[in-house]
Amino acid sequence: MSFQTMNEKIEKHILPIANKLSSQRHLRAIRDAFISLLPITLMGGVTAVISAAPVTEETTNGFLLAWASFVQQNSMLLNWISALTLGGMSIYVCIAITYYLTRHFKHDFLVPAMLSVCGFLMLVMTPQQLGWDGKVVEISYMDGKGILPAILISILTVEAYHFMRSHDWGRINLPPSVPASLSETFASLVPGFVIISGYVAIFAIFHAFDTTFPEFIYTSMAPSLQAADSLLFTVIMTLLVHFFWFFGIHDAALSGILAPIRDGNLSINVAAKAAGEALPHVFTTPFWVYFVAIGGCGSLLALAILLVRSKSKQLKTVGRIGIIPAFFGIGEPIVFGVPVMLNPYYLIPFLCASTFNAIVSFVLMESNIIGRTFAMLSWQMPNIPGAFLSTMDIKAMFLVCGLLVVDILIYYPFFKMHEKQCVAMELETEDEEE
């Protein structure tokens, strides 16, 4: 099968499916919700880095010892920040998904948001003591372990609210002289009562069986969730994301599926780090950003380095323009400038470079040779410092440097073939102009 034939088949059969995935309202709301959490995850990531002073019993460096002393003296404050940022990710996800779905249906946001939060607190928090003198609840599932329940609660709330409002269930009509805000509140009385009653019933059922909604979900889905943090899953997702991106389908099309897994695992790792326990997960957001996609999807920093020294004027120009963005994880100038997308010369290295990075990094982290990630600073942080700060393991920096060298070797023969063609075309154009 020729490349052109494969391209035509993909455009005919796969592209429509990918477009539907990227435009499906629930997946799009989940994708946008996780993107909107950047300020929360950044603060949580910075706090996680500060809390992880690289000190051992043999440490004598004054700066590191002072750092460790600061962490010890302010541990309560740092842990509280962590608990309310990455440790509270699920409630922010619930609110954000509610917002984007409500906006899709063109409803007012406030009432659905309050209903979602009510449902989340009722089903995800576990009451321990509810006395007049104080209330104690268990909030363990507010972190990444509660993301799946948060997604289900927010979607169920907005869909039920939209259905009842669009069918005027229990709508109380008020005179035109009544303010719009008050009229909207009365129109939401019955839908709100029905939705909250539903969550009360769900809580009562699980409480009767001495369990909780999120505990039931994770017990039932444990095998699937464990498989999602495996080498096989990581390789399949890496190949799938890059295959779609090569044919013009942005990786955001799959982020609605991947973001809950990656960010949920990260949040769980943060909690484990704060508790001084071993980090359980490898496949996290910083793992993807700093170790897999070095320079953006396709690991294009390697190609950008080759382009800067190209004999082709066109490719050299693209390299000089794109190398700085590639250092900060932005590969679009290279993707569209070379172009890499739909260019048969680059299909193999585009798929293989990031997949190689994923395999090597996953194996080393799973074997505890390289520290696992527990902090996400920024999508645009360069890979080498990002690798160190996300793991606080100096070996992670050397790993990324080694991966970058291998990525360059993977791209080199395909780059030289493309360069040869570009140089020939440039010489031919110059001869015609003369």
Alpha helices in 209-342 (DSSP H): 213-220, 222-227, 231-246, 255-274, 285-286, 301-308, 313-327, 332-337
Q: d(Cα 155, Cα 116) in Å, to the nearest integer?
A: 9
Residues 6+ apart with CB under 8 A from 255: 31, 34, 35
Q: pLDDT by residue (tens digit) across 196-205?
A: 999 999 999 9
Which pLDDT belongs to residue 282?
93
Helix (H) or strand (E) holding 71: helix 62-73
- Cα-Cα-Cα-Cα dihedral sign, residues 350, 353, 354, 355: positive
State residue 409's pLDDT score.
95
Span 299-308, mean pLDDT?
A: 93
Look at residue 16 and tell me whether its pLDDT is greater than 70: no
CA torsion 259→262→265→266, rounded to 10°? -100
pLDDT at 7 over 60: no
pLDDT tens sequence across 17-67: 666 666 778 888 887 887 788 788 778 877 877 887 777 666 777 887 888
Amino acid making up residue 72: Q
Residue 393 belongs to what H/E stretch? none
Structure confidence by residue, pLDDT tens digits, 227-270: 778 899 899 889 988 887 887 666 666 666 777 888 888 888 88
